[in-house]
Amino acid sequence: MDDTLRMPPHDEEELGPALAALRNALELDQATVAREAGLPASSISEYERGRTVPSPRSVARILSGMGLPDGGLDVGFHFVRTVRASQGGKCSGSGVPLQGGGPAPVLATSILEILATCANSASLGHREAPFRRPGPEDRLHAPALWSRLQRYSPKECRAIVQENPEFRSWALCELLCEKSVKAAADSPARAEQLAELALLIASLVFGDDEWRSSLQGYSYAFLGNACRVGGNLRRAEEAFDHSDRLWQAGDNGARELFDEARLLDLKASLRREQRRLPEALDLLNQALRLSEGTALAGHVLVNKSKTLEELNDPEGAVAALREAAPLAEVSADTRLLLCVHFNLLVLLGMLGRHAEADLLAPRVRSLTELLGNALDLVRLRWLEARISAGLGRGYEEVAEALREVKEGFTARGIAYDAALVSLELAVLSLESGRTGEVRQLAREMAPIFQAQGVQRETLAALRVFCEAAEREAATPEMARKLLELLERGPAFSWR
């Protein structure tokens, strides 16, 4: 890392006083610290007075020069904030009071006691700061930490987190989970990278085992979500298994910082795509009870609508979207608004109202282009192809659109959706009497569906269809039935 990296504003302001407090408590002069740190003596003075902000690497060298572990900086910050609170917010530079009246002498002794404990710790990376529990105020620092990390490659980010304790922040972990959700809409691979970085931080944060278990359990759900969007349902299931186990073993008090409804909603999406629809609906109803009156409720209702649609309850699905619509309008969340309108188009198609859907499609395209996610545009193209098919437009127009969609999913490694589009192409080809084209489509899709762990009866139907396709004896009805069993459709979700 270079010396241009900046600390969060709050810590940056208090960094100089914190370093001065630690040095004075240890009765070291600036020249000694500078010599041990391999820095100019003038630099220590500039840092302590706040005239220059040291890089994280320089801070680490200064702490090492004082014989302190990385966690010692937290002790310095705590001391400065305590003194400031006792003096009405006044405490700066090397003038941090360690002599005279007030709390300073007692705190100076406390510094030495805490630092001694830190120095004797066998596992500093797994030690919770001794002076407070994690709190909501920690979230204030997370955006600044992320702004410093995001310029680096995933490999470099992992190295930075492992080498610099300041990035072992639970709030940064939480923020990366949110970034993963947003990235999943356009790049499942990027979503996985962000979730895996969040998991690394969760394993390194200061605190006891129960606290880290809660954070790891939360993070694993977002890794599972990224795998689900990427079409890797087996790995997604494994991730959610880890999430459930770690979350339940975690710290009940610390878990209050997180929204459990998020985890239920994410898991429901996986259950829906695994065709475990009653389980998905139960999870969503639990999430709605927990999220009532919050912004999350609109997102959960979109997910519930899709689940009801796949339970062959289009009227219930429409009702859920209508309940979500006012929440979307007032939320200023463009993606949520897009989800509501897109999925309404899907339902109009199911109800055979293709002309109405065709009229509404331009607004959905406008919202999609406003967000600018390439994967969203692929999914919209999928829906537009379905609308065209429903309106009876020519084979070539519909088939060309479906081929574009298939290529889009294949290029992004989303194998399951690519295979679904292949099956839709098979239906279209069989309806047009092009039975010879279906054999190759069946050969492409069969291993993908088999690898995803679909249910036994679905695999049996898949084998029957593929055998018929080899003999050029497959029918449109067989293809449509298989599609119903495998369908998850081009629905938009908030992740």
Number of Cβ within 10 Å of residue 185's Cβ equals: 21
At 293 the three-state DSSP class reads coil
pLDDT of residue 11: 58
In this predicted structure, the answer to whether residue 429 has a pLDDT above a threshold of 70 is: yes
Rounded to the nearest 10 degrees, the angle between the axes of helix 260-273 and helix 233-248 is 150
pLDDT of 228-282, one tens digit each? Answer: 999 899 999 999 999 999 999 887 776 778 889 999 999 999 999 998 999 999 9
Distance CA 398, CA 166 (A): 54
Return the DSSP state at 99. S
For the beta carbon of residue 323, count every other beta carbon within 10 angstroms. Answer: 17
Using CA atoms in the order 467, 468, 469, 472, what is the torsion angle rounded to 10 degrees? 130
Residue 6: band (very low, low, confident or very high) from pLDDT cuts 50, 70, 90? very low
Query: What φ, ψ does residue 142 adopt, rounded to 5°?
Result: -60, -45
5 CB neighbour count, 10 Å cutoff: 17
pLDDT in the model for residue 463? 87
> What burial class does residue 436 get, using C-beta atoms within 10 Å of its C-beta: 0-12 exposed, 13-18 middle, 19+ buried?
exposed
Burial of 394 (0-12, 13-18, 19+ CB in 10 A): exposed
Token couple for 328: 């979307």
Residues 228, 191 contacting (CB under 8 angstroms): no
**Other residues' Cβ atoms within 10 Å of the Cβ of residue 495:** 24
Task: Give the mean model confidence (pLDDT) for residues 330-350.
Answer: 87
Question: Which of 70-84, 97-111, 441-455 shows the lowest mean pLDDT across its residues?
Answer: 97-111
Residue 72 has which token pair?
């010692």
4-18, 367-381, 450-464: range with highest mean pLDDT: 367-381
Q: How far is CA 58 from CA 46, 124, 240, in A?
A: 13, 19, 40
Domain 142-258, CATH number (from 1.10.287, 1.10.8, 1.25.40, 3.30.70): 1.25.40
Among 123-127, 269-273, 289-293, the least confident range: 123-127
Kindly report each contact of residues 140-145 with a partner whose C-beta sits within 8 Å and lies 24 or more positions away, as own/partner: 140/8, 140/10, 141/8, 141/10, 141/11, 141/169, 141/171, 141/172, 142/169, 142/171, 142/172, 142/174, 142/175, 143/175, 144/6, 144/7, 144/8, 144/9, 145/8, 145/169, 145/172
Other Cβ atoms less than 10 A from the Cβ of 72: the count is 24
pLDDT at 486: 79
pLDDT for 106 equals 43
Q: Which tens digit of pLDDT belongs to each residue from 101-124? A: 333 444 454 555 555 544 444 333
CA–CA gap between residue 270 and residue 120 (Å, rounded):
45
Model pTM? 0.56
Q: How far apart are CA 494 and CA 337, in angstroms?
A: 9
User: Could you say which architecture CATH assigns to the domain 9-123?
Assistant: Orthogonal Bundle (1.10)
Model confidence at 23, pLDDT cuts 50, 70, 90, reads confident
Q: What local confidence, expressed as pLDDT, does residue 482 receive?
A: 85
Q: How far apart are CA 254 and CA 133, in angstroms?
A: 8
pLDDT at 381 over 70: yes
Long-range contacts of 444-453 (CB under 8 A, 24+ apart): 444/419, 445/419, 448/415, 448/416, 448/418, 448/419, 449/416, 449/419, 449/486, 451/234, 451/415, 452/231, 452/233, 452/234, 452/416, 453/233, 453/234, 453/237, 453/274
Is the model's pLDDT at 65 over the cut of 60?
yes
- Check whether 419 has a pLDDT greater than 50: yes
What tokens appear for 191 in the block? 């979503």
Q: Which of 27-31, 190-194, 330-334, 425-429 has the highest mean pLDDT?
A: 190-194
The pLDDT of residue 97 is 44
- The whole-chain average pLDDT of the chain stands at 82
Residue 53 confidence class, pLDDT cut points 50, 70, 90: confident
Pull the structure tokens for residue 362.
């331009």
Q: If pLDDT is split at 50, 70 and 90, which confidence band does 87 have? A: low
* Residue ranges per structural domain of the chain: 9-123, 142-258, 277-369, 373-495
Structure confidence at residue 127 as a pLDDT band (50, 70, 90): very low
- Asked whether residue 313 carries a pLDDT value surpassing 70, the answer given is yes
User: Distance between CA 328 and CA 324 in Å, rounded?
Assistant: 6
CB 409 within 8 A of CB 378: yes
Nearest-angstrom CA–CA distance, 47 and 148: 20
Which residue has 């500093």 as its token pair? 124
Looking at this protein, which amino acid is placed at residue 423? L
Residue range 297-321: average pLDDT?
92
